[in-house]
């Protein structure tokens, strides 16, 4: 037996600010838990908070705040960033949004920087993207907020279709409307050959916002 075979490996949630904050144990590999990041590690204190730093109820989305021995102390020579990221009592705001279910399992939702504020409501792009990707004609998609006089930000979807597929903007909006709250549906759909991505293949929402603004 090799050393790698002897050491158990568990999936978890490792933000860049510290080693690991959650772990999904083998006995939890069942059903919807497989889509979670697991439960908090024994050495990690974890909270989900709103924009004012207050705890949010279970199953409500909130920003992950963490306190742990292995956590980074500060950003070097970045006073303003440290003021934004660290609370006065030592909690680190990760800018990751998640929900905590009734059993204490963490489910990632999105990044605070990607959140769309439309008509006074918060919309997380990944939730809309997950629904759109259920449509059989869609190869890939990316959702961002674009400036809008009525909504402040309009939920806007960039869609790349599979070869030979055709679907209208109205059909895609109707598709989402039947699966999500009305305020989460795209107000605009833009068809593209491919959605912008970073060098490592992640969705590049900033590039998409810049492209749509131009």
CATH of the domain at 99: 2.30.38.10
In Å, how far are 41, 44, 79 from 65, measured between CA atoms? 14, 10, 19
Count of residues in the chain = 214
Do 130 and 152 lie in a common domain? yes
What DSSP string runs through 95-163?
A: EEEEEE-TTS-EEEEEEGGG-EEETTEEE-HHHHHHHHTTSTTEEEEEEEEEEETTTEEEEEEEEEEPT
Query: What sign does the CA torsion over 132, 133, 134, 136 have?
Result: positive
139/162 Cα distance (integer angstroms): 5
CATH of the domain at 205: 3.30.300.30
Do 35 and 106 lie in a common domain? yes
Do 122 and 41 lie in a common domain? no
Domain boundary residue among 94, 112, 130?
Answer: 112
Angle, in degrees to the nearest 10, between helices 125-132 and 169-177? 110
Supply the pLDDT for residue 1: 44
Do 134 and 201 lie in a common domain? yes
Do 96 and 153 lie in a common domain? no
Do 100 and 175 lie in a common domain? no
Do 95 and 163 lie in a common domain? no
Do 97 and 175 lie in a common domain? no
Q: What is the pTM of this model?
A: 0.76
Q: Which of 28, 26, 23 is nearest to 46 (CA)?
A: 23
Domain boundary residue among 64, 90, 112?
Answer: 112
21/144 Cα distance (integer angstroms): 28
Mean pLDDT by 10 residues, the chain (214 residues): 48 58 83 85 89 88 89 90 90 91 90 92 95 98 96 97 98 96 97 96 94 88
Do 139 and 85 lie in a common domain? no
Six-digit token string for 74: 């500060």
How many domains, the chain? 2
Domain boundary residue among 87, 112, 137?
Answer: 112
Supply the pLDDT for residue 69: 84
Six-digit token string for 214: 């131009």
Do 168 and 93 lie in a common domain? no
Full domain range(s) for residue 160: 115-213
Do 166 and 79 lie in a common domain? no
- Is the separation of the CB atoms in 188 and 154 below 8 Å? yes
Do 106 and 132 lie in a common domain? no
Non-local CB neighbours of 118 within 8 Å, separated by 6+ positions:
145, 148, 151, 152, 153, 154, 155, 183, 187
């Amino acid at each position: 037996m090799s050393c790698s075979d002897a050491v158990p490996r568990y999936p978890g949630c490792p933000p860049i600010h510290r080693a690991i904050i959650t772990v999904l144990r083998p006995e939890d590999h069942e059903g919807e838990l497989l889509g979670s990041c697991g439960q908090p590690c024994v050495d990690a204190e974890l909270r989900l908070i709103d924009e004012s730093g207050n705890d949010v109820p279970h199953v409500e989305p909130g920003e992950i705040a963490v306190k742990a021995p292995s956590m980074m102390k500060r950003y070097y020579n970045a006073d303003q960033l440290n003021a934004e990221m660290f609370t006065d009592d030592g909690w680190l705001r990760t800018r990751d949004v998640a929900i905590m279910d009734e059993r204490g399992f963490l489910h990632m939702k999105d990044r605070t920087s990607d959140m769309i504020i439309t008509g006074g409501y918060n919309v997380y792009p990944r939730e809309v993207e997950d629904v759109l990707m259920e449509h059989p004609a869609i190869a890939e998609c990316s959702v961002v907020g674009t400036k809008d006089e009525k909504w402040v930000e309009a939920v806007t979807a960039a869609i790349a279709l599979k070869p030979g597929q055709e679907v209208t903007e109205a059909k895609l909006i109707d598709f989402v409307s039947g699966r999500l709250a009305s305020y989460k549906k795209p107000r605009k759909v833009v068809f593209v050959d491919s959605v912008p991505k970073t060098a490592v293949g992640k969705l590049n929402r900033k590039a998409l916002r810049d492209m749509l603004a131009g």
